[in-house]
């Protein structure tokens, strides 16, 4: 509009100038003689100037349209960036919150839909193995694989390795009815199998698993945000169950969440008041059948919920930063209890992976030994493989300090971590603990049997003793003795008991829960 007015103004000015020139000429040569000729000139000049003004205005209109197109494109790009993940090009969390509800209601509101929340197992290890660039490549390939898996579904990237899939209940042959447990399970299994297929990253075959939580509309919520919330809650339960687990939302999950929230609130007071105490499970010399020590295990008995699972409150202590304070309390009390045992009976204590990051851990342990008077040679510090992966150099220095002071160091949960053989080649241990998952079903599972046999032979070749966890049957004990396993622990010898019962066990040679046919002596 502005440019059109400007062009019209120029036309008027030009017309006036031509008219004025004609008037002057009339005055010079006479009105009658030149009148007809000047009128023709005026008209022709006005037409020429008008055409020029029209051309000028038309060009400005084209420029305006181009500018408007550029602005529209820029706004479109900005809108895309706002609602999409730049790496995988998938919709993001903001899209899920602001745009997805209307889209889902239009597409799936009448037929129902399922929401699968899932994250990758071992993605952190992928970054450690192939680097952040390799991890990005895996996520890009994963997005392509998932989009091809269910092209009609809505796929959202929630975070680093967390995703959400929204699928109509009749939109695909894979999910005829997302509220049907069998159909839901089949869909989750297909998804897990898809993610378990190796990815080719930098010439390496990288495998990741996934845990999946599922909820559905309208069974688990009438709004998308509620259904998504239930799927994420189900995912949290699946992650606690382990790799490649699938959980469908149930109302009990909310009750469990409320209980966990209550326990987490009580944990700080429990640590401050010393309510979490050590119980002791016997460690037995398999050849002689005698108790050679006890492993201290944390136990928390509450008036409202009874005994809380150690896996639950230990993990909470790690996430809330209470693990160091709690572990120091438990070790100090365990050392005091061990002072009442015969001098040949040792104490085993497990160190949390978070604690191994403390450069002053060795000094703290030495201080506790000094306070309680326990001989360092009676103490075994157990370190899991997962703890060693975090900082091998720091772990090596810590192990050297501990062993230098006479404390024995045990590699715990051998075979369940990442680089067992590599750790054995660069770190020095006094003992290897064979995880209970290999001892369970030892006689029926040939693979487990070979793993245990190889581990015992490897330790023997390195001059290291072995301890088998989770021994529950006489046949397992006999098999381990034949292999040459040095020590054992499990319900066959006794469960974890309070300090007074541990002392009684040392005095009587039996424990609550021990089979009558298998008595042990101190």
Q: At what angle do helices 224-241 and 251-273 cross, to 10 degrees?
A: 60
Domain ranges of the chain: 2-83, 93-249, 283-508
Task: For residue 73, count other CB atoms closer than 10 A to its CB.
Answer: 10
Q: CB 382: neighbour CB atoms within 10 A?
A: 21
In Å, the largest CA–CA distance within the chain is 145
CA angle 311, 316, 317 (to 5 degrees): 100
The arrangement of secondary structure in 283-508, i.e. its CATH architecture, is Alpha-Beta Barrel (3.20)
Half-sphere exposure of 293 (CA within 13 A, CB side): 18
Do 192 and 246 form a contact (C-beta atoms < 8 A)?
yes
Residue 320, both tokens: 């809330």
Percent of the chain with pLDDT over 70: 77
Q: Identify which of 268, 118, 106, 276 has the alpha carbon closest to the alpha carbon of residue 189.
A: 118
Q: What pLDDT was estimated at residue 519?
A: 44
CATH class of 93-249: alpha beta
Rounded Cα distance, 167 and 233, in Å: 18
Phi/psi at 209 (5° precision): -105, -165
Tokens of 360: 């002053």
Alpha carbons 378 and 74: distance in angstroms, whole number: 71
Output the pLDDT for position 71: 61
Tens place of pLDDT per residue across the chain (522 aa): 444 545 554 555 455 555 555 544 544 554 445 545 555 555 666 566 666 665 666 566 766 666 665 665 555 566 778 888 888 888 989 998 998 899 888 888 788 888 999 988 878 778 777 888 888 888 899 889 888 888 888 999 988 889 999 988 754 444 444 555 567 778 888 888 888 888 888 888 888 888 899 988 888 888 999 999 999 989 988 888 878 888 888 888 888 788 888 888 899 999 999 999 999 999 999 989 899 999 999 999 998 888 999 988 998 898 888 999 999 999 999 999 999 999 999 999 999 888 887 888 899 999 999 999 999 999 999 988 767 766 677 888 888 999 999 999 998 877 665 545 666 777 889 999 998 888 987 878 888 889 899 999 988 988 999 999 999 999 999 999 999 999 999 999 999 999 999 999 988 764 433 343 344 444
CA distance 81 to 210: 27
Helix (H, G, I), strand (E, B) or coil at 305: coil
| Cα 111 to Cα 312: distance, rounded to the nearest angstrom | 39
- Residue 270 phi, psi dihedral angles, 5° rounding: -65, -40
pLDDT at 174: 45
Q: What's the pLDDT at 319?
A: 84
9, 270, 302, 307, 516 from 274: Cα distances, Å: 91, 6, 12, 15, 35
What pLDDT is recorded for position 491?
A: 92
Residue 408 forms beta bridges with which residues? 380
Q: Tell me what pLDDT residue 76 has.
A: 54
Burial class (CB within 10 angstroms; exposed 0-12, middle 13-18, buried 19+) of 4: middle
Predicted pLDDT of residue 134: 85
Per-residue confidence (pLDDT) for residue 382, from 0 to 100:
94
Rounded Cα distance between 366 and 402, Å, is 9
Q: Return the pLDDT at 245.
A: 85
Closest CA to 143 of 155, 127, 125: 155
Tell me the C-alpha distance between 432 and 411, whole Å. Answer: 5
Domains 93-249 and 283-508 agree in fold: no
Q: What angle do CA 329, 333, 338 make, to 5 degrees?
A: 145
Q: Tokens 């150099």 sit at which residue?
A: 393
b/e for 488-500, b at 16 or more Cβ within 10 A? Answer: bbbbbbbbbbebe
CB 163 within 8 A of CB 157: yes
């Amino acid at each position: 509009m502005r440019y059109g007015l400007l062009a019209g103004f120029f036309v008027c000015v030009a017309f006036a100038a031509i008219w004025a020139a004609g008037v002057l000429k009339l005055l010079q040569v006479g009105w009658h003689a030149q009148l007809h000729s000047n009128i023709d000139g005026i008209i022709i000049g006005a037409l020429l100037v008008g055409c020029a003004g029209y051309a000028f205005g038309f060009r400005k209109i084209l420029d305006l349209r181009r500018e408007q197109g550029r602005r529209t494109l820029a706004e479109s790009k900005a809108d895309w960036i706002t609602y999409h993940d730049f790496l995988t090009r998938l919709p993001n969390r903001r899209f899920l919150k602001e745009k997805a509800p209307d889209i889902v209601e239009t597409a799936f509101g009448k037929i129902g839909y399922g929401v699968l929340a899932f994250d990758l197992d071992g993605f952190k290890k992928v970054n450690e193995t192939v680097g952040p660039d390799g991890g990005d490549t895996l996520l890009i390939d994963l997005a392509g694989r998932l989009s091809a898996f269910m092209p009609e579904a809505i796929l959202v990237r929630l975070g680093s390795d967390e995703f959400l899939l929204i699928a109509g209940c009749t939109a695909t042959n894979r999910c005829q009815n997302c509220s049907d447990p069998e159909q839901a399970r089949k869909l989750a299994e297909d998804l897990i199998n898809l993610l378990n297929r190796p990815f080719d990253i930098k010439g390496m075959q990288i495998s990741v698993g996934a845990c999946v939580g599922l909820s559905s509309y309208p069974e688990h919520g009438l709004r998308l945000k509620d259904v998504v919330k239930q799927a994420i809650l189900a995912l949290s339960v699946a992650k606690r169950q382990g790799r490649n687990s699938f959980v469908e939302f149930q109302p009990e999950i909310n009750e469990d969440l409320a209980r966990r929230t209550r326990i987490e609130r009580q944990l700080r007071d429990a640590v401050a008041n010393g309510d979490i105490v050590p119980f002791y499970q016997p460690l037995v010399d398999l050849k002689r059948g005698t108790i050679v020590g006890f492993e201290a295990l944390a136990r928390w008995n509450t008036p409202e919920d009874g005994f809380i699972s150690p896996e639950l409150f230990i993990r909470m202590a790690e996430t809330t930063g209470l693990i160091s304070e709690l572990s120091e309390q438990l070790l100090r009390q365990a050392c005091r209890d061990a002072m009442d045992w015969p001098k040949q009976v040792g104490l085993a204590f497990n160190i949390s992976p978070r604690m191994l990051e403390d450069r002053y851990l060795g000094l703290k342990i030495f201080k506790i030994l000094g306070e309680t008077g326990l001989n360092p040679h009676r103490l075994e510090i157990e370190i899991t493989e997962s703890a060693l992966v975090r900082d091998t150099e720091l772990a090596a220095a810590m192990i050297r300090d501990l062993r230098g002071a006479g404390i024995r160091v045990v590699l715990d949960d051998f075979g369940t971590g990442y680089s067992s053989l590599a750790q054995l080649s660069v770190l020095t241990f006094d003992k290897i603990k064979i995880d209970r998952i290999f001892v369970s079903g030892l006689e029926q599972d040939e693979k487990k049997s070979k793993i245990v046999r190889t581990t015992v032979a490897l330790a023997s070749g390195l001059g290291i003793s072995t301890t088998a966890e989770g021994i529950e049957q006489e046949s397992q004990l006999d098999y381990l003795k034949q292999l040459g396993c040095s020590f054992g622990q499990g319900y066959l010898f006794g469960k974890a008991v309070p300090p007074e019962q541990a002392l009684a066990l040392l005095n009587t040679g039996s424990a609550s829960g021990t089979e009558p046919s298998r008595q042990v002596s101190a």
